[in-house]
Chain A
């Protein structure tokens, strides 16, 4: 009876948790960020011998050290949040829109086109036209995969992804068409003397309009997803298309409508990038934000306000990490590493929210 040492209990077992209260959940999430910062610090110290605290101070300075830097960080945050807000309805519907990158670019091209060709208009009407046309362009870019998905059930992941490359090629085409000065193969700063089509300063700050626009979008999207019939339909389709059909919801209509919306908001992000930030267009205008925003949207579970927070975190990490890369003479990849580690910990925290580990009891209590 006593020799049960031959076969042992498994060392670690994963056990599902019951429902967790929101207090401990938030603690686990914050804790994961703290732990990840500590791990990064240790890693930095081991590899470079730098004082991790100093590194983090540099990081913070890099992100918010001066007005110009705060501007850059907040602009970046708004940009990311805007794309994430655009992606949220699509992903909530389980439509894997990997095409935000392309939708941003198309919105950006249209914005730049308006700036170049309609620069005689006064600022306000010009901005409205740019806003509307870039939204329409983004919507059209998303419409194509949506129609194919709705009518023939094509794979939207591949379709939207490939649309990105078409958008990049289109951007190259327009860059060479609009290049200024000739032969530079860049568009240069558009309307640098008239500033036509640039976001005006409001309350003495250059990024106020970015904030107003994105926060408005965030609130609208939150209401749309949570309280409207459309939002309800998106949630039903996302949970089960069969249930949607059973309820009499036209699945293809919802897919097309939602993708138009998703593409439009991503197009607006392109407008933000061109008119509210760089004042130029290039193939790197989207700069991978269409992909990063997917992480933002999912981590936030499609809640607009969490998206703003997570976008802030990522924007902060992005500009702070670039700063330490140059200040502490770390390689550029060091910043990617830090972001990677932090994201890894945040994702891992979700695992611990849903499961707990049970270790083998060391001594079996036997009489």
Chain B
């Protein structure tokens, strides 16, 4: 059993001044499921990219079945039986499954659809996949695309499969299905390496866990001897408190009232359908759903960045004005600037940090003034206050940057996010919207951010938290709205002193996929 299939010796890779992998030496055994664990930026993906031929190591050797090999490009890797499923799928949207399969293998080969379909079926039957060879990629769900990627790698004869964060885009149910397939692959003698940073998945699927920290190899342990906290300690380098608190706010003023929100995107698809919900201060409202279920459009509608259909309404009530029964402000149809001019303090941490929340080519200082650079009365920009704010955020959130004038696009993902979240919170918002706020962040930073969100909640702000890690959402949120295909498919509420049996991720996962909940939650409405 313990026959070494791949051995890495002193593998080093640097990008400019950043050392991504620092003399990594490790062994991978034949027929095992190895979890490669590490925080973001610890070098997991770049290490595996060197096995799959995307990168070439600066130093060190790769030894496959006892022989040193040189992998210059993905084709070399395939010839050696190494295949990788990347986090960002590399599929051609307008091609069918079978067309994608043979893409780039043999330019002279004829496209024999029937033969390919038969081969796909054979692979699917062997491992328990379900795939339609003639389906176009753009018609596929994320999990179907992933299945296709895995089948593609198997079709090309890989014996060693590398899966990069395969569960990031899946529902809990889909994840279970994927793990069944992975176990089948192991049974058939394949070696599987799973890159991940989710501890419970590591514990449930892998045989051994190899841990990287800041580009360095820390060690490999048998999964049976590991626990969540022991793995975290190896991963982070110190003990980390893995508890998320859920404080209870005493006042919960109504801040936002969303009614009949409809949105049709430029392609003519209805991405939000009859959305109704309320947002209260002093609570964290979670929004769950498979990515692309309308989360982005929902937040952007509130932020004034979406065109909404007639009849859509988002009313904002100033926290103090409700008692005096003053009418709220209609946000639909207003631009972000008009909303701000009404004195509404709305903060928004968008999913696309550098493409929407920040200006990548500018330094921290200039990014600080993005939203209120107009506030002074003359034609010149005022950099004094933004500079002070930049310094403050740099110190308080421990942003690692050569200086506050370094373009933020040169910072690592976690630091970019700290800059963005820092700015949005510094505006002392009444409503704080965040989309995938901890994506790509290390554990420490993630918990810092959960803490910051809780601070906002305690101050009486409403926090709208669009998330993907359901474990975190269940621990952090007071209410969770589950979106499916642009509709609200269900709402779960955490009762501080009640029965919270239904407040779990299994339920959320079911609501995320349309089948079960569509009829019950929505059936009545359809008849009207």
Instruction: Please give, as numbers and ranges, the residues of chain B lying within 8 Å of A27 by CB-CB distance.
Output: none
Alpha-carbon separation in the docked complex, A4 to B69 (Å): 7
Min Cβ gap A169→B in Å is 37
Which single member of B70, B359, B381 contacts A227 (CB below 8 Å)? Answer: B381
Min Cβ gap B406→A in Å is 8
Do the beta carbons of B336 and A239 come within 8 Å of each other? no
Q: If A8-B70, A19-B410, A248-B336 touch, does A228 touch B380 (CB 8 Å cutoff)?
A: yes
Instruction: Please give, as numbers and ranges, the residues of chain B lying within 8 Å of A8 by CB-CB distance.
Output: 70
Alpha-carbon separation in the docked complex, A230 to B303 (Å): 23
Do the beta carbons of B68 and A243 come within 8 Å of each other? no
Alpha-carbon separation in the docked complex, A240 to B361 (Å): 10
Q: If A1-B67, A236-B359, A242-B356 touch, does A248 touch B371 (CB 8 Å cutoff)?
A: yes
Residue B523, interface by CB 8 Å = no
Instruction: Please give, as numbers and ranges, the residues of chain B lying within 8 Å of A15 by CB-CB distance.
Output: 14, 58
Do the beta carbons of A16 and B336 come within 8 Å of each other? no
Min Cβ gap A354→B in Å is 9
Instruction: Please give, as numbers and ranges, the residues of chain A lying within 8 Å of B336 by CB-CB distance.
Output: 245-248
Q: List residues of B (54-77) whose CB comes within 8 Å of A's CBs.
A: 56, 58, 67-70, 72, 76
Residue A13, interface by CB 8 Å = yes
Q: If A7-B69, A229-B373 touch, does A243 touch B56 (CB 8 Å cutoff)?
A: no
Q: If A229-B373, A229-B380, A243-B355 touch, does A248 touch B68 (CB 8 Å cutoff)?
A: no
Q: List residues of B (348-379) whose CB comes within 8 Å of A's CBs.
A: 348, 350, 352, 354-362, 366, 369-371, 373-374, 379
Chain B 397-419: CB-based contact to A (< 8 A → 1; otherwise 0): 00000100000001000000000
Instruction: Please give, as numbers and ranges, the residues of chain A lying within 8 Å of B356 by CB-CB distance.
Output: 240, 242-243, 246
Alpha-carbon separation in the docked complex, A239 to B356 (Å): 10
Q: List residues of B (3-57) whose CB comes within 8 Å of A's CBs.
A: 14-18, 56
Min Cβ gap B364→A in Å is 15
Which single member of A16, A236, A242 contacts B352 (CB below 8 Å)? Answer: A242
Do the beta carbons of A250 and B335 come within 8 Å of each other? yes
User: Taking chain A's interface residues, is the majority helix, strand, or loop, or is none over half, making it mixed?
Assistant: mixed
Min Cβ gap A15→B in Å is 8
Min Cβ gap B504→A in Å is 35
Residue B340, interface by CB 8 Å = yes
Which single member of A19, A232, A248, A249 contacts B366 (CB below 8 Å)? Answer: A232
Q: If A1-B67, A9-B70, A229-B373 touch, does A239 touch B17 (CB 8 Å cutoff)?
A: no
User: Taking chain B's interface residues, is the majority helix, strand, or loop, or is none over half, making it mixed?
Assistant: loop
Q: Which residue of A lies closest to B354 (CB)?
A: A240
Instruction: Please give, as numbers and ranges, the residues of chain B lying within 8 Å of A18 by CB-CB distance.
Output: 16-18
Min Cβ gap A362→B in Å is 16
Residue B322, interface by CB 8 Å = no
Do the beta carbons of A248 and B70 come within 8 Å of each other? no
Instruction: Please give, as numbers and ranges, the residues of chain A lying within 8 Å of B354 by CB-CB distance.
Output: 240
Residue A10, interface by CB 8 Å = yes
Residue B337, interface by CB 8 Å = yes
Instruction: Please give, as numbers and ranges, the residues of chain A lying within 8 Å of B348 by CB-CB distance.
Output: 246
Instruction: Please give, as numbers and ranges, the residues of chain B lying within 8 Å of A228 by CB-CB distance.
Output: 379-381
Chain A 242-280: CB-based contact to B (< 8 A → 1; otherwise 0): 110111111000000000000000000000000000000
Instruction: Please give, as numbers and ranges, the residues of chain A lying within 8 Å of B355 by CB-CB distance.
Output: 240, 242-243
Residue B205, interface by CB 8 Å = no
Alpha-carbon separation in the docked complex, A28 to B72 (Å): 31
Chain B 61-101: CB-based contact to A (< 8 A → 1; otherwise 0): 00000011110100010000000000000000000000000
Instruction: Please give, as numbers and ranges, the residues of chain A lying within 8 Å of B124 by CB-CB distance.
Output: none
Count chain A CB atoms within 10 A of each CB in B304, B371, B380 and give the residue with the most.
Answer: B380
Which single member of B15, B68, B379, B410 contacts A1 (CB below 8 Å)? Answer: B68
Alpha-carbon separation in the docked complex, A250 to B357 (Å): 16
Q: If A230-B379, A247-B370, A248-B337 touch, does A239 touch B362 (CB 8 Å cutoff)?
A: yes
- Provide a sorted-by-A list of 24 A–B residue pairs whose CB atoms are within 8 angstroms: A4-B70, A7-B69, A7-B70, A7-B72, A9-B70, A10-B56, A15-B58, A17-B16, A229-B373, A229-B374, A229-B379, A232-B369, A235-B361, A235-B366, A239-B359, A242-B352, A246-B348, A246-B357, A247-B336, A247-B371, A248-B304, A248-B335, A248-B336, A250-B335
15 further A-B pairs in the complex, CB-CB below 8 A; given A232-B369, A243-B356: A1-B67, A1-B68, A4-B70, A7-B76, A9-B56, A9-B70, A10-B72, A19-B410, A229-B373, A239-B360, A240-B359, A242-B355, A243-B355, A243-B358, A248-B371
